[in-house]
Amino acid sequence: MSTPRIYLDNAATTPMDAEVVDLMAETMRQCYGNPSSIHFLGRETRILIEKARKTMAALLGCAPSELFFTSGGTESDNMICRYLVEQGEVQRIISSKLEHHAITHTLENLAHLRGIRVDWVKHDSRGVLDLEDLESLLAQDQGSSHRTLVTLMHGNNELGNLLDIARVSALCQSYQAFFHSDTVQTVGHVPLNLQELGIHSISGSAHKFYGPKGVGFIYLRGGHSWGPLIQGGSQERNMRGGTENLAGIVGMARALEKAIHSMDERRARMVSLRERLRRGLVEVIPDLDFNGDWSGSCLPHILSLSFPPHPKGEMLLINLDIEGVCASGGSACSSGAQSRSHVMEALGMHPDRTAVRFSLGSKNTEEEMDQVVQILQKIWHQA
């Protein structure tokens, strides 16, 4: 029997939708003008970019002028935090130790280089943020001449936990704080209406919703142009110099359209597949735990497991890989490495336990869930 290939690393990246690939290939073949050129080939590509912006804005519930295209989630997160500090808008930032490194490393850097004060919101052992603690941190600012930036992710990439961003947004509004949310894991997966949420900014990345890698966006309420962070041309209303990634932008808009239209049906499938996998694993692995708020408010496609101490614990991901199963041990950037992730560290996971994240996608099947259970049973009991 040949080794199966089971892809359960969709939170790291998703396989591209075939129709999006075709659309991008066609765009690259046919539309090569520089969107800043005034001739008709340039105007044609400019129209495609603005059409993509309009499509995405309608899907996200915002104005086209509030969306800025970037190279992905990391750039978008960096851009927002750095901008606010560079513009002298904020001198204090509130965040969480459970954020992606695109945020935590940026904040550590801003604290080091710019003397920004960073406060971390408390969380419990499931990684659920303490919103009372957030409120008491916000209350410390009253009377300050500077605004505080609150940056808290919507869906945690390692745990799947979902934050009540409407509640955080309302809290930030009552303390006049700027609220940014890294929504890289939730755009295209969870309903988002930016107009209703009243949030100031979000970041998104196309490769997390079956689109291309290397393209993403920022939503910025009111669509301010703060002046360029990347110096050069006046692209993206002077926010980000550089010739636009035309095919990427066109592909991202189409991928978002498809992801949002299939969201409800996909969600129901993910919930059922994830539960099948979870129940199957509980039956074959003794003392298995699940990380995060998996039975509460969470993304339907992420299941983070905590395996008990075992001779094969250290090599679990490699053994899964040998058996044809792609999973992650930490966040995407450290996948493959069995080093403990900063999130598991912050949750205080016992050092002898091993964390594995399975993240499901639209192509997974019930048979695959059953196969993964069998494979893990074999690895576990063969030691």
Ligand X SMILES: Cc1ncc(COP(=O)(O)O)c(C=O)c1O
Q: Tell me the catalytic residues.
A: 333
Q: How far is the CB of 319 from ligand X (least distance, A)?
A: 24
Q: Dmax over Cα atoms in the chain, in whole Å? A: 69
Q: Which of 62, 184, 320, 360 binds ligand X (CB under 6 A)?
A: 184
* By CB under 6 A, residue 153 contacts ligand X: yes
**DSSP 8-state symbol, 12:** T
- Rg over alpha carbons for the chain, rounded to the nearest Å, is 21
Q: Which of 127, 216, 329, 330 binds ligand X (CB under 6 A)?
A: 216
Q: How far is the CB of 168 from ligand X (least distance, A)?
A: 16
Rounded to whole angstroms, how far apart are CA atoms 197 and 173? 11
CB 147 within 8 A of CB 90: yes
Closer residue to ligand X, CB minimum distance, 7 or 380: 7
Q: Could you tell me the two tokens for 36?
A: 């800043």
Of 177-185, 228-236, 298-306, 349-357, which part binds ligand X (CB under 6 A)? 177-185
* By CB under 6 A, residue 205 contacts ligand X: yes
Residues 6+ apart with CB under 8 A from 178: 84, 89, 90, 147, 148, 149, 150, 172, 200, 201
Closer residue to ligand X, CB minimum distance, 134 or 299: 299
**Phi and psi, residue 126, nearest 5°:** -90, -5
Nearest to 248 by CA among 47, 48, 11, 14: 48
Closer residue to ligand X, CB minimum distance, 45 or 151: 151
Q: Which of 17, 66, 182, 257 binds ligand X (CB under 6 A)?
A: 182
Tally of helices (H runs) and strands (E runs) in the chain? 13, 12
Give the CB-nearest residue to ligand X: 73
Q: How far is the CB of 77 from ligand X (least distance, A)?
A: 6
Nearest to 219 by CA among 61, 51, 68, 53: 68
Q: How far is the CB of 185 from ligand X (least distance, A)?
A: 5
* By CB under 6 A, residue 9 contacts ligand X: no
Closer residue to ligand X, CB minimum distance, 8 or 375: 8
* By CB under 6 A, residue 247 contacts ligand X: no
Closer residue to ligand X, CB minimum distance, 35 or 73: 73
Of 16-24, 46-54, 179-187, 272-280, which part binds ligand X (CB under 6 A)? 179-187
* By CB under 6 A, residue 329 contacts ligand X: no
Closer residue to ligand X, CB minimum distance, 186 or 319: 186
Site string for ligand X, 65-104 (x = CB under 6 A): -------xxx--x----------------------x-x--
Within 112-151, the residues that bind ligand X by CB under 6 A are none
Cα angle value 125/117/105 (rounded, 5°): 65
Closer residue to ligand X, CB minimum distance, 93 or 153: 153
**Phi and psi, residue 52, nearest 5°:** -65, -40
Q: Which of 185, 201, 319, 359 binds ligand X (CB under 6 A)?
A: 185
Q: How far is the CB of 74 from ligand X (least distance, A)?
A: 3
* Cα torsion through 296, 302, 307, 311, rounded to 10: 180
Residue 175 half-sphere exposure, CB side, CA atoms within 13 Å? Answer: 24
3-state class of 158 per DSSP? coil
Q: How far is the CB of 23 from ligand X (least distance, A)?
A: 20
For 342-351, the CB contacts below 8 A with 24+ separation are 342/97, 342/101, 342/104, 343/97, 343/98, 343/127, 343/156, 343/158, 343/159, 344/158, 344/291, 346/97, 346/98, 346/123, 346/127, 347/98, 347/123, 347/125, 347/126, 347/127, 347/291, 348/125, 349/291, 349/306
Distance of CA 121 to the CA centre of its chain: 19
Q: How far is the CB of 267 from ligand X (least distance, A)?
A: 18
- Contacts to ligand X by CB under 6 A: 72-74, 77, 100, 102, 153, 157, 182, 184-185, 205, 216, 331-332
